Amino acid sequence: MLAGASKGVAKIMTTRSDRGAGRPDPDLSAIVGERRRLINLAYRMLGSLAEAEDVVQETYARWYAMSERRQAEIESPGAWLTKVAGRICLDLLGSARVRRENYVGEWIPEPLPDHAEWGGTPSGIDPADRVTLDESVSMAFLVVLEAMTPAERVAFVLHDVFRYPFAEVAEIVGRTPAACRKLASSARQRIRASHPAPAPTARQAAIVRDFRRAWEAKDIGALVGLLDPAATGVADGGGLVDAAFRPVEGADRIAHTLVDIAGRVPGMTILERTVNGRPGLVARQDGAIVVVMAFEVPADRITRIWAVRNPEKLRRWTPD
C-alpha cells in the first residue's frame, strides 16, 4: 500500500539535515517530534499499527517532497502534518471496507502490548512509535469505531479523542464545521449505545485471572460461570491459521470451544497480559505467541472475547 516509504523518508530527512555542513536542523527536530502523535492518531483511526506507520511515513514523504521555500511558508507544520495524515486515513478507511469484505473470517483490530510487561521493546519497534494505552484504544472501543462510516470515525477521533476544533476537522474531512459536529455527535451516540462502561480495572483483572485458571483446568462449568449467557467470542486468523470463521455465541458454546482448543494444543502456556490497555490473555506455544485475547467486562461477567491469531497482527508481541 504505502510500503517502502520509510527508507525513502529516512534518506530525504538525512539529506536535508546534512545541508547545514553537519549542523543539526531545528526544523527537522520539530517535524520528527510530531511522529508519535501522528502514530497515535492514525492507529485510532485505522485500528492497525502497521497501516498507521505507513500513513505517517507517507505524510513525511509528502512534507519532504516540498521545496524548502514551500515548507517555510507553512505557518504550523504540525497542523499541516495532521491534516495530511487525517486525509490519508480517510481515504484508507474507504478502501479498507472493501479489503475487509474479502478478508478470510472475522477482522479484529491489531492488538497492542504494554511493553513494560515484556521487559523491553518488541523487535523492530521505535519507542517513538508506541501508542498511548488509554480507553480510546481498548479493543471494545476500536470495534465500535469499525462500525462507523469513515467520515464519522475521523471526525470523532479528531474532535472527541484529540480535541481538535471542528473548524480544523472540517478541513480534513472536507465538510462544513456544522456537518462535522453532526458526524461526531452520531459517532458519540454509537459509542454510548454499544460500548458499556467497563468494570474497574482490578475487577476486570480478577475475572480474567479466574478465566485463565478455568481454561487451564479445562473446567467448563467455571468458564460458563464467568461468561455472560449471551457472550460472544470472535477469532481472527486471517486465513493464515485455524480460527472460527464466524462468531461463537453463548457461554456454553464458548466454554466448550476453549476446552477443545486446550486439548488440541499441548504445551500451551497462558499468560495474563495487558492488551490495548486492559487486562487480557496471551497464549504461547513453543516460545511463540499463538493468540492474544482481549475481553469486554462491563460488570461481573465477560460479555465479549476477541482472539487474534493472525500471525501478521502478532508481530508486536515478540520481545527482543
16-50 pLDDT tens trace: 444 444 444 546 677 888 999 999 999 999 999 99
Angle at 290 between CA 147 and CA 131, to 5 degrees: 50
- Same structural domain, 88 and 225: no
- What pLDDT is stored for residue 1 in this prediction? 43
Residue-number span of the structural domain to which 225 is assigned: 201-317
Domain boundary, last residue among 194, 209, 232: 194
Give the residue from 190, 135, 143 showing the smallest Cα distance to 161.
135
Sequential DSSP letters for 22-57: T---HHHHHHHTTHHHHHHHHHHHHS-HHHHHHHHH
- Same structural domain, 124 and 142: yes
Mean of the pLDDT values across residues 186-215? 94
- Same structural domain, 222 and 174: no
- Total domain count, the chain: 2
Mean of the pLDDT values across residues 115-123? 66
Residues facing 282 on adjacent strands: 271, 292
- What pLDDT is stored for residue 27 in this prediction? 65
Provide the grid cell at 48: 492497525
SS (H, E, C) 264-311: HCCCCEEEEEEECCEEEEEEEECCEEEEEEEEECCCCCEEEEEEECCH
- Same structural domain, 205 and 188: no
Give the residue from 150, 179, 151 showing the smallest Cα distance to 166.
179
State the residue for C-alpha cell 487525517: 86
What CA–CA distance (Å, rounded) separates 140 from 137?
Answer: 8
Phi/psi at 55 (nearest 5 deg)?
-60, -45
Domain boundary, last residue among 194, 222, 246: 194
- What pLDDT is stored for residue 4 in this prediction? 41
- What pLDDT is stored for residue 3 in this prediction? 41
- Same structural domain, 112 and 141: yes
- Same structural domain, 166 and 310: no
Query: For the chain, what is the mean pLDDT?
Result: 88
- Same structural domain, 211 and 138: no
- Same structural domain, 183 and 68: yes
- Same structural domain, 254 and 122: no
What DSSP state is assigned to residue 246? S
CB of 145 closer than 8 Å to CB of 41: no
- Residues 91-103: tens digit of each pLDDT: 999 888 777 888 9
User: Any idea what the CATH number is for the domain that residue 266 is in?
Assistant: 3.10.450.50
- Same structural domain, 262 and 205: yes
Domain boundary, last residue among 135, 167, 194: 194
CB of 210 closer than 8 Å to CB of 81: no
Of 56-65, 112-121, 211-220, which gets the smallest average pLDDT?
112-121
Residues facing 279 on adjacent strands: 274
Dihedral sign (CA 153, 64, 312, 207): negative
Buried b (16+ CB within 10 A) or exposed e, 36-67: bbbbbbbbbbbbbbbbbbbbbbbbbbbbbeee
SS (H, E, C) 142-159: HHHHHCCCHHHHHHHHHH
Contacts of 29 (CB under 8 A, 6+ apart): none
What CA–CA distance (Å, rounded) separates 53 from 35?
Answer: 9
- Same structural domain, 151 and 18: yes
- Same structural domain, 206 and 310: yes
Burial of 320 (0-12, 13-18, 19+ CB in 10 A): exposed
- What pLDDT is stored for residue 6 in this prediction? 43
